[in-house]
């Protein structure tokens, strides 16, 4: 009897040894922009790569299987994936979005709202009254980011899916921070799952890409149609690299989240840390929901340093393994300063409302040895505690 394959097997083996031309074990890459017709008015399986491409389709198929959806569309970036879902909206429709989402998603929603393409209500989805008020306005789409970027707030997907449905809205969940290795929003009631595949799915920080997985066949078809209309589909080479990265998703995420959990505990007891945001910590307000709806707590966390601007700078500049850079989810550890980087475009007031301040730092924990990462952070704290060690101007060398 055919047994349903475990997700690890799907990630490692979907499409392996399926090449009909030469029996290549690794699925070949099809870079061609167009495909020859078999004859006059006789198109083959593929015509033009903007519309469909075998390398991109294999990635989409793998993602749809991993997320438990009916189909997926692979886009040129995670932002394009968010926009693809938005392209299904009618003019004047209402989107209920998180007040603390990724800064680029916030900017996209605000910009389209500004052009009056649709309405957006940015809501603290943990605020029961605010969420109820927004849902009473008959939204067409509820967008959720859980855990949120960068403060790792958790939204109960099953609960919000039921409420969105009652309000007549579709639910889209941005699953970028966890990946299907740790969270399956469709099984919890979501209609769409959005990914920046730039992050954990590719995992090697060498591709910018995105994907939307739809729970229903009709939605998957509508997404594919709109992706072709607007031309946001991803490049075949990117799809090939992303699938190559995806092969090792499960072991990567498992190792990275183990180290992240230990780093969170280290930071939690540190006197120079005011707050640690990691859903794996029992003190985290979303711990119970995260424990129930996630298969692990992931490898992203954020913290608030007990330091002024100069102290934050000294801490960050002393780090050698946590590279100061945008993005996350790669095999290498990164640190970001959301106020001046990922969330700069939100504006100071929106950041204040979202709870992001100038001492907030976001860590993406990679695959380096845990002891080396802890040592790196310890060096950062030493530098933070020591006022500038640079010689003052005019001082003797």
Distances in Å between the Cα of 188 and the Cα atoms of 178, 185, 395 are 15, 5, 64
Residues in region 309-348 near ligand PLP by CB under 6 A: none
Among 201, 208, 273, 281, the residue binding ligand PLP under the rule CB under 6 A is 208
Residue 102 is a catalytic residue:
yes
In angstroms, what is the minimal distance from the CB of 176 to ligand PLP? 4
75 binds ligand PLP (CB under 6 A): no
The count of residues interacting with ligand PLP (CB under 6 A) is 15
Q: Which is nearer to ligand PLP, 296 or 338 (CB)?
A: 338
Q: Which is nearer to ligand PLP, 174 or 191 (CB)?
A: 174
Residue 389: exposure state from Cβ atoms within 10 A (0-12, 13-18, ≥19)? exposed
145 binds ligand PLP (CB under 6 A): yes
Phi, psi of 98 (to 5 degrees): -70, 145
H or E segment to which residue 255 belongs:
helix 249-268
- Candidate segments 37-45, 100-108, 259-267, 371-379, binder of ligand PLP by CB under 6 A: 100-108
Task: List CB contacts of 181: < 8 A, sequence separation 6 or more.
Answer: 7, 11, 200, 249, 250, 253, 254, 295, 296
77 binds ligand PLP (CB under 6 A): yes
The arrangement of strands across the sheet holding 360-364 comes to 273-277, 300-305, 360-364, 334-336, 323-324
203 binds ligand PLP (CB under 6 A): no
- Candidate segments 101-109, 159-167, 224-232, 370-378, binder of ligand PLP by CB under 6 A: 101-109
- Candidate segments 24-32, 174-182, 229-237, 314-322, binder of ligand PLP by CB under 6 A: 174-182
Binding mask 270-309 for ligand PLP (x = CB under 6 A): ----------------------------------------
Active-site hit among 65, 170, 199, 252: 199
176 binds ligand PLP (CB under 6 A): yes
Give the span between the Cα atoms of 164 and 80, in whole angstroms: 23
Overall residue count recorded for the chain in this entry = 397
Q: Are 159 and 183 in contact (CB under 8 A)?
A: no
Residue 200 is a catalytic residue:
no
Q: Which is nearer to ligand PLP, 67 or 174 (CB)?
A: 174
Residue 46 is a catalytic residue:
no
Give the span between the Cα atoms of 86 and 82, in whole angstroms: 6
- Both structure tokens of 323: 């590279």
- Candidate segments 33-41, 99-107, 218-226, 232-240, binder of ligand PLP by CB under 6 A: 99-107
238 binds ligand PLP (CB under 6 A): no
78 binds ligand PLP (CB under 6 A): yes
210 binds ligand PLP (CB under 6 A): yes
In angstroms, what is the minimal distance from the CB of 139 to ligand PLP? 20
Q: Is the Cα dihedral 33, 38, 40, 44 positive or negative?
A: negative
Binding mask 182-201 for ligand PLP (x = CB under 6 A): --------------x-x---
Among 54, 104, 280, 330, the residue binding ligand PLP under the rule CB under 6 A is 104
Q: Which is nearer to ligand PLP, 149 or 256 (CB)?
A: 149
54 binds ligand PLP (CB under 6 A): no
Task: List CB contacts of 144: < 8 A, sequence separation 6 or more.
Answer: 98, 125, 155, 157, 160, 171, 172, 173, 174, 190
Q: Which one, of 69, 291, 312, lies nearest residue 191 by Cα?
A: 69
Q: Which one, of 146, 145, 138, 144, lies nearest residue 89 by Cα?
A: 138
Three-class secondary structure of residue 122 per DSSP: strand
105 binds ligand PLP (CB under 6 A): yes
HEC secondary structure over 358-373? CCEEEEECCCCCHHHH
Among 72, 87, 96, 102, the residue binding ligand PLP under the rule CB under 6 A is 102
3-state helix, strand, coil in the chain (%, to 5): 40, 15, 45
259 binds ligand PLP (CB under 6 A): no
Site residues, ligand PLP (CB under 6 A): 77-79, 102, 104-105, 145, 149, 174, 176-177, 196, 198, 208, 210
Residues acting as catalytic residues: 50, 102, 174, 199
């Amino acid at each position: 009897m055919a047994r349903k394959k475990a997700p690890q097997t799907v990630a490692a083996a979907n499409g392996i040894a399926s090449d009909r031309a030469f029996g290549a074990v690794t699925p070949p890459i099809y870079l061609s922009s167009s495909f020859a017709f078999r004859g006059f008015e006789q198109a083959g399986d593929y015509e033009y790569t903007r519309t469909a491409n075998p390398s991109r389709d294999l990635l989409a198929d793998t993602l749809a299987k991993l997320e438990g959806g009916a189909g997926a569309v692979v886009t040129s970036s995670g932002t394009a994936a968010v926009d693809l879902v938005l392209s299904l909206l009618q003019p004047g429709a209402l989107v209920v979005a998180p007040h603390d989402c990724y800064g680029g998603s916030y900017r996209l929603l605000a910009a389209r709202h500004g052009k009056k393409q649709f309405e957006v209500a940015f809501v603290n989805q943990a605020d029961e009254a605010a969420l109820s008020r927004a849902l009473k306005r008959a939204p067409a789409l509820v967008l959720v980011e859980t855990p949120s970027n960068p403060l790792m707030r958790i939204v109960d997907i099953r609960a919000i899916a039921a409420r969105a449905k009652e309000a007549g809205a579709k639910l889209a969940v941005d699953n970028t921070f966890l990946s299907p290795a740790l969270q399956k929003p469709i099984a919890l009631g979501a209609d769409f799952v959005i990914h920046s595949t730039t992050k954990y799915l590719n995992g090697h920080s060498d591709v910018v890409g995105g994907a939307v997985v739809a729970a229903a066949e009709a939605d998957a078809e509508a997404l594919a149609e709109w992706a072709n209309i607007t031309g946001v589909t991803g490049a075949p080479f990117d799809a090939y690299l992303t699938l190559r990265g995806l092969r090792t998703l499960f072991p990567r995420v498992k190792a990275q989240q183990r180290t992240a959990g230990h780093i969170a505990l280290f930071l939690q007891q540190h006197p120079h840390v005011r707050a640690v945001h990691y859903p794996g910590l029992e003190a985290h307000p979303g711990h119970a929901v995260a424990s129930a709806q996630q298969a692990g707590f992931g490898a992203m966390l954020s913290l608030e340093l007990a330091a002024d601007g100069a102290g934050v700078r000294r801490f960050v500049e002393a780090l050698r393994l946590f590279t100061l850079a945008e993005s996350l989810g790669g095999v290498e550890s990164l640190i970001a300063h959301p106020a001046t980087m990922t969330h700069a475009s939100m504006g100071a007031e929106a950041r204040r409302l979202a709870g992001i301040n100038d001492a907030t730092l976001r860590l993406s924990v990679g695959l380096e040895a845990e002891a080396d990462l802890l040592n790196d952070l310890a060096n950062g704290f030493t530098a933070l505690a020591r006022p500038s060690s640079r010689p003052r101007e005019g001082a003797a060398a």
